[in-house]
Amino acid sequence: MSLGIQRVSDGVTGEYAPAPADHPFLRPAGKGLAGIDLLGDVERREQAAMIHAGDLLSVHSWELVTAVDGPGTRMTTFLSGCPLACLYCHNPDTMDMRRGNLVPTTELCKRILRYKRIFKRTGGGITISGGEPLMQPRGLAKLLAFAKENGIHTAIDTSGFLGWRCTDDMLKNLDLVLLDIKSGMQETYRKTTKAELAPTLDFAKRLGDEGVPVWARFVLVPGLTDAPENIEEVARIASTIPSLERVEVLPFHQMGRDKWDSLGLPYALEDTQPPTAAEAEAARAIFRARGLETY
Ligand code: SF4
């Protein structure tokens, strides 16, 4: 999810280097990971099949962060591809899976292991974000299973829109879900994301029923999501999740504007100002009034 959290990276970030040209997942040799559009139909179909099987992932980037995306120091990996089209998306370049770098799932697993000691020392782990991580459910399932086998805390950051793709096994391998509730009112949800709210509600219920810890996230956008009745409805939804641990209210800001421009995409929030500190606190108060731990 590209929610516009003011992130302070631990200074370790990156794109994935292309896999070795002779890697069995990549054909024809030497085309490079970003060269998917240069491939012929046969190769493209093969790569799509590998993504489908979870052996290859389309990845935007990754970074080590502390105090966001879950407890401790996290290796947050942003997968490419998203079924929503949020007006406030701060990384619109993650929306299209074809823009990502193709990375063998085993490569990601190796990198996860590299930070195992840091995770242990800080109580951290991995967070798979996006885009929408459930766009690539089999690869995601492999990453979660691998992390759990190695005693590493796992989280995903999701809108829940594709929650039906999250299998029961994946749920068992999840220590935390960062659930982005983009609006409580259907009409506002549709205006904000161009999609329906119902799948998020279904997934929230399932997470609650299964006792998967949830941190709910809500982006406060003046003139879009900030109507008190909308915030009230998000708070009501959050309060129905028995496994909810906290709510994070994220004030909208304009740091993503340039990306929309550089992609040549129309940016609907050009004139929208960030909420004031008082407005953000007033929104948080609506959640706290329901007894929810809110940041
Ligand atoms: S759900 Fe998709 S479109 Fe919305 S903010 Fe996240 S990445 Fe962007």
Neighbours of 162 (CB within 10 A): 19
Q: Give the model's confidence band at 28: pLDDT under 50 very low, under 70 low, under 90 confident, else very high.
A: very low
pLDDT of residue 43: 82
Using one digit for the tens of pLDDT, what is the confidence trace for 53-111?
999 999 999 999 998 999 999 999 999 999 999 999 999 999 999 999 999 999 999 99
**80 Cβ inside 6 Å of ligand 1:** no
What tokens does 277 get? Answer: 């500190």
Distance CA(96)–CA(76), nearest Å, equals 19
What residue's CA is closest to ligand 1, atom 8? 89
Task: Classify 220 as helix, strand or coil.
Answer: strand
**133 Cβ inside 6 Å of ligand 1:** no
CA of 82 to the centre of ligand 1 (A): 6
**221 Cβ inside 6 Å of ligand 1:** no
Using one digit for the tens of pLDDT, what is the confidence trace for 141-174?
999 999 999 999 999 999 999 999 999 999 999 9
Predicted TM-score (pTM) of the model is 0.90
Q: Which residue has the higher pLDDT, 146 or 39?
A: 146
**200 Cβ inside 6 Å of ligand 1:** no
| Contact indicator for 243, 208 with CB cutoff of 8 Å | yes
Q: Which residues contact 42 (CB under 8 A, 6 or more apart)?
A: none
Say yes or no to pLDDT of 240 above 90: yes
Q: Which residues contact 41 (CB under 8 A, 6 or more apart)?
A: none
Amino acid code (one letter) for 234: V
In 1-15, which positions are buried (b, 16+ CB within 10 angstroms) versus exposed (e)?
Answer: bbbbbeeeeeeeeee
**61 Cβ inside 6 Å of ligand 1:** no
Say yes or no to pLDDT of 26 above 50: no
Question: Residues of the chain with pLDDT > 90: what percent?
Answer: 83
Task: Classify 172 as helix, strand or coil.
Answer: helix
Atom from ligand 1 closest to the CA of residue 91: 8
**159 Cβ inside 6 Å of ligand 1:** yes
β pairing state of 73-79 and 56-66: antiparallel
Amino acid code (one letter) for 215: W
Q: Give the model's confidence band at 270: pLDDT under 50 very low, under 70 low, under 90 confident, else very high.
A: very high
